[in-house]
């Protein structure tokens, strides 16, 4: 039985590697001139790791015509000073700063995006997270894919930039191996939408057709929900071959566990069967478990062989991305990552509570956000998709929640 499970796991590892190569080795089409204008929407909260450098990467795009719209909730947010400083170095790029606590839903990021959208002039919208570093040709790449016939949304795979401490090392290794390969395989092997909203390009008309940010504000995984809604419109999603970098700072092991569990709970709520099957893509954990149960030398040797095989694939994957760690650390990284994620795999089936940027939520179907104290397993939810299915939030009924502070719109540089 264990041999069969490990065999399936090895096949899944092969499919993950195949999908990864299919994405990263793909050629990017050359977009025709003239290139359409793009609005880059930046939702911000606080000083993310190297926020100035992340914003700089948006301004340094090799693209003829784009604007940057930054949005924060609080007028005392420290990100505001960083935005002003970076924008002052790029007077040729139209920049708008929106400070507003107006809400369209429960998702704080989507609320910022909704407020930023009011200042956007263009039809093409790039949603770019504050902790992301964009390559200089990112806009050219994603636009070239979006203007292909039948494409409604383009996202990018994510790699890790930096990451110190035990948690940072595990998080960066996990992003560069399992997460990137899983996203790629879902897109290229299973042919299903798998959207990571770290960088996501779509048209304003398609955003409006799915219900706008008022609809997306119901969910924590607004990126994946967007991809599914695009598919329901009869359009395709595309994955850019060139990744963007998630800039990591110093993370503790506890912070790594928190991030992992949040994403795991999201995947469990988006696709319960798929998440359950993820354990088969962790053959090292299964082999170690089998060795402990069997207590035999062959089982221990098999687990060791799988460990070094997986560590070798991890090293090769990172070196293909230009990341070089000492080779001797990979077995330890692979073992720690495999055991941690394997042991935590069951948690999302027992709890759907998440904490994200100071907010606590209960996740319902499709990661619908509910209040932790009042959410009921037996309540009847309205339909969770479609352009005419609006959330229960007041914004869905034609109004928005009152702001405790005034809305400020500022053109930069002043």
Q: What is the DSSP string of 11-60?
A: HHHHHHHHHHHHHHTPPPPPPPSSPPPEEEEEE--S--TTHHHHHHHHHT
Domain containing residue 40: CATH number: 3.90.550.10
Number of domains in the chain: 1
Statement: residue 393 has pLDDT above 70: no
Q: Band of the pLDDT at 208, cuts 50, 70, 90? A: very high
Note whether residue 93 is domain-resident: yes
DSSP character string of 195-256: --TTEEEEEHHHHHHTTHHHHHTTBS-HHHHHHHHHHHTT-EEEE-SS-EEEEEEE--HHHH
The pLDDT > 90 percentage for the chain reads: 80
Separation of alpha carbons 408 and 19, rounded Å: 45
Residue 202 structural domain: 31-156+196-250
Separation of alpha carbons 112 and 116, rounded Å: 6
Note whether residue 409 is domain-resident: no
Statement: residue 317 has pLDDT above 90: yes
Span 36-56, pLDDT tens digits: 999 999 999 999 889 999 999
Q: Give the chain's end-to-end CA distance (angstroms, integer).
A: 68
Note whether residue 57 is domain-resident: yes
Q: Exposed e or buried b for every residue in 388-400, given b needs 16+ CB within 10 A?
A: eebbebebbeeeb
Note whether residue 396 is domain-resident: no
Span 330-339, pLDDT tens digits: 999 999 999 9
The one-character DSSP state at 352 is: -
Q: What is the mean pLDDT of the chain?
A: 90
Statement: residue 99 has pLDDT above 70: yes
Q: Give the strands of the sheet with 359-363, arranged side by side.
A: 353-356, 359-363, 369-370
Q: Band of the pLDDT at 405, cuts 50, 70, 90? A: low
Residues 133, 240: contact at Cβ < 8 Å?
A: no
In terms of Cβ atoms closer than 10 Å to its own Cβ (0-12, 13-18, 19+), residue 50 is middle
Statement: residue 374 has pLDDT above 80: no
Average pLDDT on 178-201 reads 95
Span 134-159, pLDDT tens digits: 999 999 999 999 999 999 999 999 99
Note whether residue 23 is domain-resident: no
Note whether residue 386 is domain-resident: no
Separation of alpha carbons 296 and 302, rounded Å: 10
Note whether residue 137 is domain-resident: yes
Note whether residue 124 is domain-resident: yes
């Amino acid at each position: 039985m264990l041999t069969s499970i490990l065999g399936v796991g090895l096949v899944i590892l092969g499919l993950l590697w195949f999908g990864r190569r299919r994405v990263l080795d793909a050629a990017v089409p050359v977009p025709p001139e003239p290139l359409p204008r793009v609005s880059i929407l930046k939702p911000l909260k606080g000083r993310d790791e190297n926020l100035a450098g992340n914003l700089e990467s948006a301004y340094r795009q090799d693209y003829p015509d784009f604007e940057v719209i930054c949005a924060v909730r609080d007028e005392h947010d420290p990100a505001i000073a960083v935005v002003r400083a970076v924008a002052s170095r790029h007077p040729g790029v139209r920049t708008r700063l929106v400070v507003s606590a107006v809400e369209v839903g429960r998702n704080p990021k989507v609320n910022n995006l909704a407020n930023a959208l009011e200042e956007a002039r263009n039809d093409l919208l790039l949603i770019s997270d504050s902790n992301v570093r964009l390559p200089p040709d990112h806009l050219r790449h994603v636009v070239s894919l979006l203007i292909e016939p039948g494409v409604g949304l383009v996202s990018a795979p994510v790699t890790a930039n930096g990451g110190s401490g035990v948690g940072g090392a595990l998080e960066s290794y996990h992003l560069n191996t399992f997460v990137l390969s899983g996203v790629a395989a879902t897109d290229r092997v299973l042919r299903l939408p798998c959207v990571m909203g770290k960088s996501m390009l779509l048209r304003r008309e398609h955003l409006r057709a799915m219900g706008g940010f008022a609809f997306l504000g119901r969910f924590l995984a607004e990126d994946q929900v967007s991809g599914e809604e695009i598919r329901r419109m009869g359009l395709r999603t595309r994955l850019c071959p060139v990744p963007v970098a998630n800039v990591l700072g110093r993370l503790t092991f506890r912070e790594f566990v928190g991030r992992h569990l949040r994403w795991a709970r999201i995947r469990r709520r988006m696709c319960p069967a798929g998440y359950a099957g993820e354990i088969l893509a962790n053959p090292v954990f299964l082999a170690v478990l089998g060795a402990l149960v069997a207590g035999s030398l062959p089982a221990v040797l098999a687990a060791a062989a799988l460990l070094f095989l997986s560590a070798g694939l991890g090293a090769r994957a990172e070196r293909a991305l230009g990341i070089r760690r000492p080779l001797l650390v990979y077995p330890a990284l692979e073992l720690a990552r495999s055991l941690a994620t394997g042991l935590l795999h069951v948690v999302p089936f027992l709890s759907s509570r998440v904490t994200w940027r100071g907010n606590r939520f209960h996740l319902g179907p499709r990661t619908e956000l509910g209040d932790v104290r009042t959410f009921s397993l037996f309540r009847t939810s309205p339909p969770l998709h479609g352009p005419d299915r609006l959330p229960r939030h007041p914004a869905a009924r034609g109004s928005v929640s009152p702001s405790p502070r005034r809305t400020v719109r500022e053109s930069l540089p002043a």
